[in-house]
Amino acid sequence: MAELEQEGGEGKKSPKKLIIIIVAAVILLAVGGGVTFFLMKGDSSKGEKVEHVDEDEAAAHAEKLYFDMSKPIVVDFPKGATVKHGRITVSILVEGAETIEVLKKNEPMMRNNLLMLIGAQDPANLNTREGKEMLAKAMLDDVTAVLIKMAGKGQVKEIFFTSFVMQ
């Protein structure tokens, strides 16, 4: 009989433990659900901002391509200059394939403007790094002007000299 009473006593303690565990689990689930709700609610507005940033970043990081001019630019410098001729090969960094198409279509105008620009330079200045950088900046401005004139927008990022020979 003593054994039956002990088993019965354990049976009474067990439901109390079970009730305490169930109540604790319900409280934990309720608290966890509340925290999750508030965190998700706060993240939804941040998520929208992130999407806008992603769209802006996508526009900022459009596909960058190189356009190589079909022929080198060859110029003759004025008489009396230490350098008589110059031959420059150029690659242009642009954004988007549509900009490449505009450059291909308008390459004669672009070549004309660049020939005029390079021919007007002092060859002595072009022997220095600073002179070449200034020429590249002026060429960038000219190419951008052609794009804006012909396509309404300029997506030129940089001009690179792939060959620069003066003799």
Q: What is the CATH number of the domain that holds 145?
A: 3.30.479.30
Q: Are residue 144 and residue 68 in the same domain, yes or no?
A: yes
Name the DSSP class of 77: P
Q: Write the pLDDT tens digit of every residue in 76-108.
A: 888 888 888 999 999 999 998 888 888 999 999
Q: Write the pLDDT tens digit of every residue in 11-45.
A: 556 788 888 888 888 887 888 777 777 777 754 44
Q: Which long-range contacts (CB under 8 A, 24 or more apart) does 149-154 make?
A: 150/102, 150/105, 150/106, 150/109, 151/99, 151/102
Distance CA 102, CA 57 (A): 24
pTM over 0.75: no
Q: Are residue 88 and residue 116 in the same domain, yes or no?
A: yes
For residue 71, give the H/E element and its range: none
Q: Give the count of domains, the chain.
A: 2
